[in-house]
Structure 1
Amino acid sequence: MLLYRLLISILAAVVLTRAALRADGRALRDRLGRNAPQSEGAHIWLHAASNGELASARPVIAALRAAYAQTPLLITCNSESGVALARSWGIDRVSAHLAPLDLSRVSRRMMKRWKVRAFIAMESELWPHRILSCQGPVIVLGARMSAGTAKSWVRLDRLARRVLGRVVYASAQDAGSRQRLVSLGLPEDRFGPDLNLKALYLPSPMHDPALAAAFDRAETWLAASTHEGEEDILAKAHQLALQKRPNLRLILAPRHPGRGDEVAAILTRAGLSFSRRSKGQSPEGVSVYLADTLGEMPLWYDLAGVCFIAGSLTDRGGHTPFEPAAHGQAILHGPDVANFADSYAALQAAGVTRLTPSADTIARALNDLADPAVQASLGAQARAVLAADVPAEQVLQEIIAALR
């Protein structure tokens, strides 16, 4: 525990210093757990890392509101964009804040201020002080534990067993995560069915009439959540595809919008005309629209008939196929899909996605998928494959039972 306290104290110093330099009083209050509750009474606290995890949690939130209509809900996220997303839903009796630092005193303060009656952690958000300071039930949903993370926890074996011993119900993302969590000390009899929370994703009701008028969905493809080393390949793919489809347009959405200038330089070198969302520039008359903003991915999914799922051309394991499938897009991806290996294997077995490991193969796939009916059909088939045998209703019922 001493080692963890040292490490989290260093992290806390960095986070607080950055907030202080920005003179961000609200962030400082959130991080220190000094944000007074917006409603009285005992709260259920749900914590998700950011937008993707929180979007997947919407059915969980709906189930909580239905089962505990009089119990207010506290949502915390590590990112400002996640907090903004939660607030944008406008759900009654829900408060959203930046996550507090996982310091012992801060965690105890949060539990006391919000009268926390239960704590729900999403995926890999296993913060020891939060879990240990909660007097009510602790639930982990879509629990994800990679082999690398498990090795780090082994170094804190006693702490891991204390923390995981407090969990009353867990639903693992996959069999590997379940096995690693059991080896670290989470009793096997506390697991419900395995469930990848991304399978619960519901499209957010986002719409921009001006953008919708500017893009022909059938003639637009999206490169979603790109990373360093991928944009050069995607820009080349777009150049090649333009030779046969001169009206084709690309929406390029970097995983980290702060890389906007870097990605813009790549597009300039490629000789592609582009405009930037972050600069308020019009998408009209350009070949590439650089979507270098946070929290707007549902917009981009809806505007494009084909989606290349990034993080898959490098060693980052690939991003979720559930979101583009939910928006009815035809799906392309690179070879590295380790983060969702079972889901991609099912999609490939059904023949409803394209493995495109290079600029040439991406361009050929884009040329093959020009027909909007084909795009829509592949999107619908992908959605059906990913929805098959998902024990969502059972897990939601078991969550409610565990909270009683």
Structure 2
Amino acid sequence: MSSAMARMALAGYRLAGVALYPLAGPYLAFRAMKGKEDRSRRLERLGYASQPRPRGPLVWVHSASVGETLSILPLIRELRRREIYVVLTTGTVTSAALVEARLGDEVIHQYVPIDVKFPIKRFLSYWKPDASITAESEIWPTTVAELARRRVPQIRVNARISDRSFSRWHNHAKVAEALFDKMALVVAQSDLDAERFRDLGAWPVIVSGNLKSDTDPPPCDELLLEKYKAEIGDRKTWAAISTFDGEEKAAATVHRALKAKNGQLTIIVPRHPDRADAIEAMLKEEGLAVARRSRNDELTPETDIFLGDSIGEMGLYLRLTEIAFVGRSLTNEGGQNPLEPAMIGCAVLTGPNIQNFRDAYQHLVRKGGARMVKDVEMLAKAVHYLLITDPARAKMVEAGTDAMEDLRGALGKTIKALEPYINPLTVTARLQPKVAAAGNIR
């Protein structure tokens, strides 16, 4: 594809967005009926602000998912420490709930506007960001073009690009170059990610490591933790976390295979809690007794599965066990973040499909904090071995903790890379009269 054809393709994308824009309202209303949009705030997706813009320097930070939001919490707090305002956009109801729980009024939260000319222009004209920082991997062509037109520096932090995404972009190299060369800076997670961003036209690109390794362990309610520990008593436990379709059934199969030997409690935490009803029905068809966190069910000696169908309580579930299988790796592809269970003190198990977190897993496996299983049978054997072999489990937990210490430092490298962009804003902010930002508007 030539450069001219790439420009035509991007122009066609923008025109298609404009043509379909009249359908945006009904589409968002439909998603709200399904629980996938916040009904009271869906106008934010069309670029309408629900809060006043504070006076002073402001950075637009975007993180699409819960994982990405967690990874940049320390960076956001550093911006606020420098008295720079942050409007943080996310794409899901779940991530919005996390922002409210973890950051409260430290930031201004908005739902990200859809990637169409009118909402994006409306959003940028109102908020007038001095810089744009996006976490990890999303690329939205209309947003990139409009930010470039307004000469707003576009920075990507904790940036990664999966095998599939890189192949797709590489097959459309000129389109990629037209977008990636508009980035002012890319701070990549790994050398491989950095090489891929450079190949696609980004410059400059530096490597920081994974920001998730510098986050604090996910918190939990200590009273709830003690309550559930008392209900579990001396039963052995293991957890399957961040699971996707098919992996809950795999966890049920493991549970049934080991129940007679260990009498264990199995904790299942689906990546998308809105699937909990379907998961519970499947588990009951398997003849298993299920307690759900969302119903505050008691964990009795007869409970087979504790279904963690709540938002923002991963810290609770992980503190109830020392063995964690991390999903989207056995029956799905890409993997999920293994760093949280490692930092809390869990021996980590994973399936083979971990392309999105390759570096983190390689380090954990090399240090002895994680083990890969190829199928359900191998998962059952690994869980059984760790349940009955305290020294082996303790050795994996200690190795995971050591691995996490090795990985720290990404935040400092990221802040240093951002200094040319945020230092001037810090100076301006500290010269501004102090005006409090408004809290969240509901």
TM > 0.5 between the two? yes
Conservation of the 8 A alpha-carbon contact between 2:62 and 2:133: yes
Aligned partner of 1:385 in structure 2 is 403
Identity in percent: 29
Distance 1:315 1:25 in 2: 31
Residue 56 (str. 1) matches residue 71 (str. 2): yes
Aligned partner of 1:397 in structure 2 is 416
Measure how far apart 1:15 and its partner are: 5.9
Distance 1:61 1:198 in 2: 13
Aligned partner of 1:344 in structure 2 is 361
Aligned partner of 1:309 in structure 2 is 326
- 2:191 is aligned, of 175, 199, 221, to 175
Measure how far apart 1:80 and its partner are: 1.2
Distance 1:385 1:366 in 2: 21
Aligned partner of 1:103 in structure 2 is 116
Cα 1:340–1:14 change in 2 (3 A) is farther
Deviation larger for 2-11 or 393-402: 2-11
Distance 2:26 2:401 in 1: 44
Query: Relative contact order (C-alpha < 8 Å, sep 6+): which is higher?
Result: 2
Aligned partner of 2:13 in structure 1 is 4
Q: Secondary structure at the match of 1:303?
A: coil
Measure how far apart 1:108 and its partner are: 2.0
Conservation of the 8 A alpha-carbon contact between 1:48 and 1:122: yes
Measure how far apart 1:25 and its partner are: 5.0
Conservation of the 8 A alpha-carbon contact between 1:231 and 1:263: yes
Cα 1:12–1:293 change in 2 (3 A) is farther
- 2:44 is aligned, of 11, 14, 30, to 30
Distance 1:10 1:231 in 2: 41
Measure how far apart 1:244 and its partner are: 2.0
Conservation of the 8 A alpha-carbon contact between 1:223 and 1:253: yes
Aligned partner of 1:220 in structure 2 is 237
Distance 1:11 1:56 in 2: 34
- 1:145 is aligned, of 153, 156, 161, to 161
Measure how far apart 1:229 and its partner are: 2.2
Aligned-pair Cα RMSD in Å: 2.7
| TM-score under structure 2 length normalisation | 0.82
Conservation of the 8 A alpha-carbon contact between 2:218 and 2:340: no
Aligned partner of 1:362 in structure 2 is 379
* 1:31-64 CA-partner distances (Å, limit 9, x unpaired): 0111143442231111001111110111211221
- 2:352 is aligned, of 307, 331, 335, to 335
Aligned partner of 2:290 in structure 1 is 274
Distance 1:185 1:53 in 2: 23
Distance 2:159 2:340 in 1: 19
Q: For 2:153, give the aligned amino acid.
A: P
Q: For 2:107, give the aligned amino acid.
A: V
Residue 19 (str. 1) matches residue 28 (str. 2): yes
Q: For 2:158, give the aligned amino acid.
A: G
Conservation of the 8 A alpha-carbon contact between 2:194 and 2:206: no
Residue 83 (str. 1) matches residue 101 (str. 2): no
Conservation of the 8 A alpha-carbon contact between 1:221 and 1:304: yes
Measure how far apart 1:159 and its partner are: 4.6
* 1:363-383 CA-partner distances (Å, limit 9, x unpaired): 333333236675455233213
Conservation of the 8 A alpha-carbon contact between 2:291 and 2:307: yes
Q: For 1:378, give the aligned amino acid.
A: M
Aligned partner of 1:124 in structure 2 is 137
Measure how far apart 1:79 and its partner are: 0.6
Q: For 2:78, give the aligned amino acid.
A: A
Conservation of the 8 A alpha-carbon contact between 1:36 and 1:113: no
Distance 2:99 2:321 in 1: 25
Distance 2:373 2:385 in 1: 12
- Give the length in aligned residue pairs: 399
Conservation of the 8 A alpha-carbon contact between 1:45 and 1:75: yes
Conservation of the 8 A alpha-carbon contact between 1:329 and 1:379: yes
Cα 1:295–1:272 change in 2 (3 A) is same
* Greater share of residues in helix: 2
Measure how far apart 1:289 and its partner are: 1.1
Which blocks of at least 5 consecutive residues in structure 1 are unaligned? none
Q: Secondary structure at the match of 1:369?
A: helix
Residue 300 (str. 1) matches residue 317 (str. 2): yes
Distance 1:256 1:49 in 2: 14
Conservation of the 8 A alpha-carbon contact between 1:47 and 1:99: yes
- 1:115 is aligned, of 128, 131, 135, to 128
Deviation larger for 50-59 or 129-138: 129-138
Conservation of the 8 A alpha-carbon contact between 2:347 and 2:397: yes
* 1:215-239 CA-partner distances (Å, limit 9, x unpaired): 3497221101112222222111112
